[in-house]
Chains A and B, each alone.
Chain A
Amino acid sequence: DGGITQSPKYLFRKEGQNVTLSCEQNLNHDAMYWYRQDPGQGLRLIYYSQIVNDFQKGDIAEGYSVSREKKESFPLTVTSAQKNPTAFYLCASSIVQGQETQYFGPGTRLLVL
């Protein structure tokens, strides 16, 4: 079945540690996105990518980094510079970047120890 997978489902980060969240899609979509969701809030865009080897910062990119070496994969690294990383992280993809429908993965919940 086509879809978006994210792993792990839960992730624990220690102080000063970098952690990487995985996002894979087999929908053959060109565009991929990372959003952050805090309790009682809507989603905010961290990074997006229109094509392999290209990505752009979203509204809250500080403390995060991404790569897009393959069309299917768009991993997100939460660095130690992100002082408040506890949140629910959602990855999405769409056919092309534009006003096309974005489809979401199941999310990763990041907690700080």
Chain B
Amino acid sequence: AQKVTQAQTEISVVEKEDVTLDCVYETRDTTYYLFWYKQPPSGELVFLIRRNSFDEQNEISGRYSWNFQKSTSSFNFTITASQVVDSAVYFCALSEAEIGNSGYALNFGKGTSLLVTP
């Protein structure tokens, strides 16, 4: 079963629009971590944020902000005043306590491809 769901496969916006990328996760653990990564066309995954399950405070970093809501198991990511350089695939990921053979591996969603046009 998919532990991280990113329902939006592709999003296209015009520069300066705000855009929110949705992430819904599933876990039975009380201690877990959530991550967002950016994958530009070059392919390398760039770390954006890590949030633990006990910290529901929203976070803002420049034009980026994250809304963590345990009640709905969501960890959404908003880009304000989007720019062409924001065009990339964005992945949400979940890290749970050690389970089975995968230890603390990250469970990734399938990603949301964001295209920002001028």
Contacts and interface: CB of A to CB of B under 8 A. Distances in A.
Given A99-B32, A99-B33, A104-B44, A56 B101 contact: yes
B108 A107 contact: no
A97 B44 contact: no
B30 interface: no
Interface in A20-37: 33
A40 B112 CA distance: 9
A48 B44 contact: no
Contacts of B50: 101
Contacts of B4: 42
10 contacts: A40-B9, A45-B102, A56-B103, A59-B101, A90-B44, A99-B32, A100-B104, A101-B35, A104-B45, A105-B44
